[in-house]
Structure 1
Amino acid sequence: MTTGHDGTGVEPAAGPTGDSPRRVASRAAIYTAGSAAPALASLVVIPLITRLLSQREYDVVALGTVVVQVGVILVALGMGAAITREYILGEAGARGARGLVVQSSLISVLIAGLALALGPVWGPALLGRPWDAALALAVVASLGGGIVIVIQAYLRGAERPVPFVLLAAGGTLVGPAVGLVIVLLGQRTGTAYLAALAAGYVLSALAGVWVTLRSGPRDTSWAGLRRALRLGAPTVPHQIAIYVAIAGLVVVADRLLDAGGTANIVLTLGAGATVLTGALNNAWAPLIYKEPPATRHARLTSTTRVILRVVGALVAAVCLAAPLLVQIASPPTYDHEAMVPAVVLASFSAVASVYYLASSHLILVRGRTGVLSVSTPAAVGLGIVAAVLAAPVWGLVAIGASYAVMYVLLALFTTVAQAVLVDRPWRPPLAPVTLVVVLACAAAAILLPTTTGWWTVLRAAVALLAAAVLLAPLRTALRR
């Protein structure tokens, strides 16, 4: 065992699952690339689409995007978590997981069909605008995206990261790119762009269904579907609360500080590191599910330490790059001096998210996801209350800090929940060196001048030093 600077070992050897750290790291790298590519693509597409479309037409795209993001969660009904768990821990295994993909896809079609039929009712009531083709296309995109989510859950359990990423690219990368081309060719309407987005998601869903059906026989049963719904449905409020976290804080900033747009930039940059934790989780969760109960806690502890180091290195980089990031993301008319500390504080959410995900693995293994339907909305709600109370005094800093508070509370609530629900409570590992390095980089980011030039070089040097301190102990493990 290689001893890390945290005072604990970084487990290099393959565990009972037979997964070596190198194999797990390679899968995680593919998932990370697949998650980062659409985000990077959006940085290119959004500035272009806002310039090519009129403000009125871009409002159509923005509203449609919100419908897609929420609709995907509702259409999928939380079945993703249930399908991955069924593949690894369920009685029917892979056959049962494939059966659940088919069943949940049919349920998604029914939900989307109902949403389309009732569109003229809920569209004006919830969105304040008449039901039209753009909103209908957003619902169709939600259907495709929801089916893609459940298929990805099956692929995650099967440890097939390449098709997982390719399916994600269809809706989140290819669809927007085609939409941009259509707009460039002269169809400068939000409806045309959303049509391409919907086509990308639907084609990805059809390809995913084809991959699933060709993967082997299926085992479908009402009992299996009921078990999956009992496990998955409670995660819907959890997922919606995660989505609402940033939106709620943007509304607070808009109402109290008249800085909704600035807050959106701050939170988008600060939350960027959580994209990495979500990507790593695609490889992490199956590893923990597969681990025998006798060694599951030990495996969870060792992998948590490793992921904390990786995420800590990224958070340190985001903190030190914050002055440059806000200058790239916003014109000089924005208050960059106020934005930098807000980005730094918001980025701490990624560290807390590692602890939240670690405890949630045990909750999912136990099959007691109902607690997430309460804990996550509670954490987000308390974070928004904190922002309302602190924003008038601390401004944007309070907005960034409140986002981190949400994840700290979420980590605390899920840790307490797993301690109550599982037979043998898991004790999250401390990572003093990781925390000290991240805090030092955050302090440097706030205290150093935000000007470019040599100060940027100094920040880059500090970020590289932080990465070396945090990641060097992992090299031996990854050689195995």
Structure 2
Amino acid sequence: MTSPPGTPAPTAGSRGSSLGGHAVVYLVGTALQGLGVLLVLPFATRVLGATEFGRVATGLVVVQMVGTIAAAGIPQVILREHHRGEEGPRVARALAGTMVLLAVALGVVGLALALVLSATGHADLGQWVPLVVAAVALTTVVAGQTLMRARLQPWGFLALAVLATVAAQLAGLLAARGEPTAERYLTAYAAVVLVAALVAVALGRPLPPTVERERVSAGVRLAAPLLPQAAAMLGLLSGDVLLARALVGEAGAGTYQVALQLGNMPFVLAVALFNAWGPLVLSHPVEGRWAWTARTGTVLTAVVAAGAAGVALLGPWLVAVMADPGFDHGAMVGALGLICTVSISYMLYQGSSLAVLDAERTGRLAWSALAALAVVVAVALWLAPGREGTDGVVGIAVAKAVGYLVLMALTTAFARRHSSLRWPRRAAAVAGCGAALAVAGSVLPLTGAGAWLRVVLAALVAVAALAAAPRIVRVLRG
């Protein structure tokens, strides 16, 4: 499909400088947003203990899930519509306003449900209310951040990321020091996220949906298949924590959560690069859009693969810093390497998903995500039930890794069918090498010769990354 008249097309130089410069800011912002909990993790695990920390982790997953439902798949459409014609920015603001209204409506329903359940003795308002407030506020923050991305304004994105994650997590930790309970932690967290939501409204200036009724309606229709897709994606992202709690207990969920937060480091790198890359792909001149996407996407996949391999190989030492001996370090290291492979699959998936979105085949994205989520659940139910300790935790990690592999394969197949995007063979090569090294980090011994081999392999990965850095920079600069 072609871009409508009036769509701005950046020059090659501006695209290169934007991808290079913005990626740095997005990397910091997304790192803080995705790994905000990691900054307080060594303290939170010690203050709360495995059981209360597992409850906090579960509560945060619920917040993200409710926020995703409230967003209704609109963020992707905001990015697309912003670059479509002179009215595009106004339409994007109206779609952001739609997100906020949906979040508030869902929040009202959530509070009403909490009151009913509390009256019947089936819910504690002290736990429900912070979760509902945080979900509504987080959706509003995402609306503001999406507008910042569409406008190529990474500093606004960064400000919201700092408030909604690092500040919120620190507030939760400080509150829990006085009374080490999940309720105190989540209440303080929700209060700061609410402040971030007010800042997001001030920066993004969303508009009522009625100001661009026709295009907002069309955008909502396009986004509709993305609602189940977004819910399934969140299930892939965080549902494994809920599965861990159900299948291996709250202590096992807390152990798995530590490995997940460490494994999210290369995943956050992938998200940060995509935050800078995605808007540039959709604003690229259509005649060369997918060739440019394949070329730059392969380079970005190589960067993520190197990060995934490095984190997995250094797993024993990272785990020792993040959790005290009361946690199962062997299980964490075994799960960590497998979780790191997710970031590699995700980077390739994101490039393919842009092609499917641009072809207006959003239903294909929904089917891919739902199928991948079904695989995660099926594999987890096969490998994890009743297996306390290392086997159960690692089984959940295997399920997550396989699910993302299925997601990437299906979405890439749909992109090939509905667009001209063709990933080169070297993309598969760098992805395969990175995944193999990450799995090696999962199975190598933690001490003795195995530990030395980990260090050697990590050093080789670092040397290879440094050697390839000049070429990577040249490609990214166009």
**Cα 1:173/1:219, change in 2 over 3 Å:** same
Q: Report 1:164-313 matches (<5 A).
A: 164-184=157-177, 186=178, 190-213=182-205, 220-245=211-236, 248-249=239-240, 259-313=252-306
For the pair 1:30 / 2:25, whether they are aligned, the reply is: yes
2:82 and 2:88 in contact (8 A); partners too: yes
Where 1:427 maps in the other structure, the secondary structure is coil
Equivalent of 2:90 in 80, 95, 113: 95
Unaligned regions of 5+ residues in structure 2, if any? 1-8
For the pair 1:434 / 2:426, whether they are aligned, the reply is: no
Partner residue in 1 for 2:405? 408
Where 2:314 maps in the other structure, the secondary structure is helix
- For residues 443 and 397 of structure 1, the distance between their equivalents in structure 2, rounded to whole angstroms, comes to 12
- For residues 366 and 217 of structure 2, the distance between their equivalents in structure 1, rounded to whole angstroms, comes to 18
Q: How far off its partner does 1:100 sit?
A: 2.3
Aligned residues: 461
- For residues 80 and 102 of structure 1, the distance between their equivalents in structure 2, rounded to whole angstroms, comes to 11
**Cα 1:27/1:257, change in 2 over 3 Å:** same
Deviates more, 1:359-368 or 1:452-461: 452-461
- For residues 461 and 57 of structure 1, the distance between their equivalents in structure 2, rounded to whole angstroms, comes to 37
**Cα 1:167/1:356, change in 2 over 3 Å:** same
TM-score (norm 1): 0.83
- For residues 472 and 313 of structure 1, the distance between their equivalents in structure 2, rounded to whole angstroms, comes to 15
**Cα 1:440/1:64, change in 2 over 3 Å:** closer
**Cα 1:472/1:317, change in 2 over 3 Å:** farther
1:253 and 1:260 in contact (8 A); partners too: yes
Partner residue in 2 for 1:359? 352
Partner residue in 1 for 2:463? 465
- For residues 201 and 285 of structure 1, the distance between their equivalents in structure 2, rounded to whole angstroms, comes to 26
For the pair 1:78 / 2:73, whether they are aligned, the reply is: yes
For the pair 1:314 / 2:292, whether they are aligned, the reply is: no
Unaligned regions of 5+ residues in structure 1, if any? 1-13
1:92 and 1:219 in contact (8 A); partners too: no
- For residues 59 and 405 of structure 1, the distance between their equivalents in structure 2, rounded to whole angstroms, comes to 24
**Cα 1:270/1:64, change in 2 over 3 Å:** closer
- For residues 54 and 322 of structure 1, the distance between their equivalents in structure 2, rounded to whole angstroms, comes to 21
Partner residue in 2 for 1:112? 107
1:391 and 1:398 in contact (8 A); partners too: yes
2:172 and 2:188 in contact (8 A); partners too: yes
**Cα 1:471/1:289, change in 2 over 3 Å:** same
- For residues 48 and 333 of structure 2, the distance between their equivalents in structure 1, rounded to whole angstroms, comes to 30
- For residues 313 and 270 of structure 2, the distance between their equivalents in structure 1, rounded to whole angstroms, comes to 19
**Cα 1:176/1:85, change in 2 over 3 Å:** same
- For residues 341 and 106 of structure 2, the distance between their equivalents in structure 1, rounded to whole angstroms, comes to 37
- For residues 182 and 397 of structure 1, the distance between their equivalents in structure 2, rounded to whole angstroms, comes to 32
Q: How far off its partner does 1:286 sit?
A: 0.5
1:223-281 deviations in Å (ceiling 9; x for gaps): 22212212223223222223323655456666666754444444443343222111111
For the pair 1:419 / 2:402, whether they are aligned, the reply is: no
Q: How far off its partner does 1:83 sit?
A: 1.3
For the pair 1:153 / 2:149, whether they are aligned, the reply is: no
2:69 and 2:230 in contact (8 A); partners too: no
**Cα 1:364/1:117, change in 2 over 3 Å:** same
- For residues 195 and 403 of structure 1, the distance between their equivalents in structure 2, rounded to whole angstroms, comes to 30
1:95-135 deviations in Å (ceiling 9; x for gaps): 2112222333233222222322232346799xx94241431
**Cα 1:51/1:122, change in 2 over 3 Å:** same
**Cα 1:464/1:57, change in 2 over 3 Å:** closer
CA RMSD of superposed structures (Å) = 3.5
- For residues 208 and 344 of structure 1, the distance between their equivalents in structure 2, rounded to whole angstroms, comes to 36
TM-score (norm 2): 0.84
Corresponding letter in the other structure for 2:100? S
